[in-house]
Every structure is written in structure tokens, then in C-alpha cells.
Structure 1
Amino acid sequence: FESRDVTAGLPESLARPHGASRGSPLEHRLVALTNEFFQRPASSRFPPRRTNCKLPPVTPKYGSKMPYRCTPLYGGALVCDLPDNFADVSKLRQVPDNQEVWIDKDGFTSIIFDITERVGGPGSGPEIDGRAMTMHLEDMVGTDIDSVKIWNTAETEFTRLEFKPPAYTLIATQTPKVGHSRGQSSAPDFTAIIMTLLRLEQYKTDILITINVPHIKGEYDEGDVDLELGKQGKLMGNAVEYSASIWESLKIKDFSLFGEP
């Protein structure tokens, strides 16, 4: 795995630090969207150690032949199955202690785990959790409001967690504004975003799991992607599989990672 810019192919807003403004049109749009969804019926203190996983390997899903491996995160406090062809970015450059960043060795897709302070009021519900998703997404995309389109939201279950905390996933795309690129050949036509929010209210913690999928001209078949018609294409389809693997395999081994409840 050659050292390279792990943010290549990502919009600048996805590569820069958190800290976006609030009360924007995007916030209002997302709150309305998540309100509608929730009203539907229910259907720097991290140890530098690595521990062995005992989870069984995940078999390929959706007919793919993609191998997975049990992967320790945050010194083994969390474990989950990640694609075998993803590399730990912390071996190449410094990564914040509250993050785990993994990138496809053969492409530009990245998987980011981010442990953050819980946002919003106590409890769970349309207004509280909807606004939390909004705030986290706005922190990620920054002020590029009009470049983001939300395609889907869904309630999410982490099947290996003994308790059942609230969790939600959204799928969005971010398209660079016309004439607003970094002047690089690797600038994407658009970036697909699959963001899962796992809420640990007892520990005043939100866990964000974000998969960024830059679609760079020549690196994907444009005819296979039409989200209006439900055509995700190979890159996004793979990302959905990565997400499902995480939902099915994530296990919390050491709750002291989140501090005192």
C-alpha cells in the first residue's frame, strides 16, 4: 500500500475539520425529513494496544466475493468486520484519537469511525434524533448546503450489541459546485455518503460511522448510476455492503472508552 493523500477524491468540505454553522436551510430540510421518518411505524484517552478478535469472519454478502476480517478499533475497545482490502490510515499519518480511518487500498472509498460528544437533549424521538443527525451531517459537509441531496433514511439495528441503542442511517450525495473544484484530475463527479449515527445516551456519546465514496470520472461506469431510478452502481453497492457488515458485527468490548456513565 503506497503512501498517498488519503483525502484525494474527496470534496474539501469532507476533508476539513468539523465546525459548521447552524440554522441553515440544510438543517431545516433534514429535520423535516427525519421527523417524517420517525413518525413512521417502527419496523486522546484511547490505549495504543491491539487485541485479538474472537468474532468469526463475515462471509461475503449480496453475492459478492469480498473477504472481510475482524478488525480491532480504538485499541480493541470496539471490534467489527471490515473489508480485507482496507488499510489503517493511522499507519500512514496522524489521525485524531477519537477517530479510526480506513481507506480502500485500490480506490478512494474511506470508512471513518468518529466518537463524539452527544448532541441534543435527553431521550430519543423525531426532534431530538433528527436534529442530532442534522448537526453531525452539517459538521461534515460544512457550508456546501446546496451540494447535498438526501436520498434515504432508515432505522438501523446493530445486531451484536446486547442492548439496543437508537441508531439511524442516511444515504446522501454531495456534488461539487460548477467551477468549484480543486483543479485535480482526481476531483470527483460526486461523493456518495453513507452515515450511521449510533446514540449512547448513558455515556453522553454519539458514534458516527461514515463511508465516503468519491465517484471519479473513469473510475466508475456512469451508466450504472442513476439514484433517481434506484441504480446505485458498484462503488455505492459495495459501500452499502460495508455498512451492513458493520451493523452485523460491531461489538463494544470496553465501555470505559466512553468515560463514566
Structure 2
Amino acid sequence: MPGDECSERLLFGGAISSAFPMRFQDLSSIREVPDHQEVFADSSRDESLFFELLDLKNDVSDSESAIWFLQDLANEQDAKGSLSGSLQPADLMFKDLPAVITTVVGRMAVSKGRQGREAQNVVRVYLANLRLKAVGTDVLIIAYEPILINALSETSLTVGAGLAVPAAQSELLPVSEVFKFAIVSFKVNDWNLFGVVDHTP
């Protein structure tokens, strides 16, 4: 979309990079973000994009990993709603290290901050799990897209209550496309991040 081009962004001190629109601002300049996460958001639309590095969950099967992480996310956020979605497994290679990626799309009712269930917004959640087994790491890429903003939610003060305006109507890249670009452009620049010595000249 015009004016919403994806640009390469450096993550985790430049050890990883991914491309997505500049309208997604780094939240670490606004609030504290854990070292294993990178969080970006377009606050004017309440859309957000997370990158998270976790220890590999060896007891979770590759084919079910994205769904498992989405369910875990819902439990963590005390969210309710439908977690069923499309699962698209594929095998990838990062350098000479084998990787597996699965994606899932779900729908959740979630509250902002400390707000209760009466202020829950309905959001679509896109989750990708990149399994970098050789370095014992599960990478999560998660995108949140609001569907319905609750009038009681603090989000309604900036975005407005009711059905969210589709990104395409504002000549912006839809979250589904932002999510895809972030995955396709995901790149490890320094394997030392995972404790692996990179001998690439």
C-alpha cells in the first residue's frame, strides 16, 4: 500500500532483523520490555507486533506448536474466545541449521492492562512459531489486529469504540500482510545471540 512500505528493522541489538511498516513504533522507548521480547505497535490503530525468544519446548510436537503457543498465550492473558484457526506447516532452513515453522490464526477477547473482563476487546491473533532446534530456541512472531473495540476499554479513547476500520480503507497494509512480511523477511544476523559461534566471513 502507498505510504506503508515495509522497512528492515533491527531486533535484539541487531542480531536479528525483520521488515514491517515504520508506523509500528518500538515500545521499549515508552515502557519496559523484557530482554527476550521486541514489541512494536501502531497505537492509533491498536495494532501490535511481538517478537519473542523462548527456550525450545521439546515436549511440544512441531505440527501442533503454533496452536500450543496460542493456547498458552490465551491462558496467560486470561482471554476467552475461539482459538481454532488455519495451520500452515512448512520446513525452512536458516543458514545450514534446520528449522520448522507453523502458523495459526485465532480470535480472542482480551483486556488492556489491568482492565477487567467487562472491558475486553475482540482481537484477531496471528502467531508463527519458528523452531530453531539446533540452537534450542522457539521464536514467536505474534501480531494483534483489533476487530471490535469495547466502549469501556481504554483503547476506545484513541481508536474509538465499535468495529475496527479495515487497514485497506486507510491505505495501510493489513495486519495479515504485515505478519507475512515479518516472517518472510526474518533473518538471523548474528548467531552468537543463541550461543553459536558464527564463522561466516
Q: TM-score range by the shorter chain?
A: 0.7 to 0.9
Structure 2: where are the runs of 5+ without partners? Answer: 150-160
Pick closer, same or farther for the CA change 1:260–1:174 going to 2, 3 Å: same
User: What is the aligned counterpart of 1:210 among 135, 138, 142?
Assistant: 142
**Rounded Cα–Cα distance in structure 2 between residues aligned with 1:91 and 1:165:** 32
User: What is the aligned counterpart of 1:82 among 20, 28, 34?
Assistant: 20
Could you report, residue by residue, the CA deviation over 1:189-212 in whole angstroms, capped at 9, with x for unpaired residues? x11010000001111110000001
Q: CA RMSD in A?
A: 3.0
User: What is the aligned counterpart of 2:81 among 136, 139, 147?
Assistant: 147
Aligned to 1:138: 71
CA contact (8 A) 2:20 2:182 kept: yes
CA contact (8 A) 1:158 1:247 kept: no
**Rounded Cα–Cα distance in structure 1 between residues aligned with 2:182 and 2:19:** 6
Aligned to 1:241: 177
Structure 1: where are the runs of 5+ without partners? Answer: 1-63, 122-126, 225-231
Percent identical: 23
Give the match's secondary structure for 2:162: coil
Give the match's secondary structure for 1:152: coil
TM-score by length of 1: 0.59
In proportion to residue count, which structure has more strand? 2
Pick closer, same or farther for the CA change 1:130–1:243 going to 2, 3 Å: same
TM-score by length of 2: 0.75
| 1:117 and 2:51 aligned | no
Which entry has the higher C-alpha Rg, 1 or 2? 1
Aligned to 1:11: none
Give the residue type in structure 1 aligned to 2:134. Answer: Q
User: What is the aligned counterpart of 1:220 among 164, 167, 170?
Assistant: 164
Give the match's secondary structure for 1:94: coil
Shift of 1:73: 0.1
Count of aligned positions: 177
Could you report, residue by residue, the CA deviation over 1:158-207 in whole angstroms, capped at 9, with x for unpaired residues? 68x43451101001111369xx95444xx42x110100000011111100
Shift of 1:106: 2.0
CA contact (8 A) 1:120 1:131 kept: no
Shift of 1:133: 3.0
| 1:166 and 2:130 aligned | no
Pick closer, same or farther for the CA change 1:94–1:75 going to 2, 3 Å: same
**Rounded Cα–Cα distance in structure 2 between residues aligned with 1:142 and 1:81:** 29
**Rounded Cα–Cα distance in structure 2 between residues aligned with 1:245 and 1:116:** 21
Pick closer, same or farther for the CA change 1:157–1:111 going to 2, 3 Å: farther
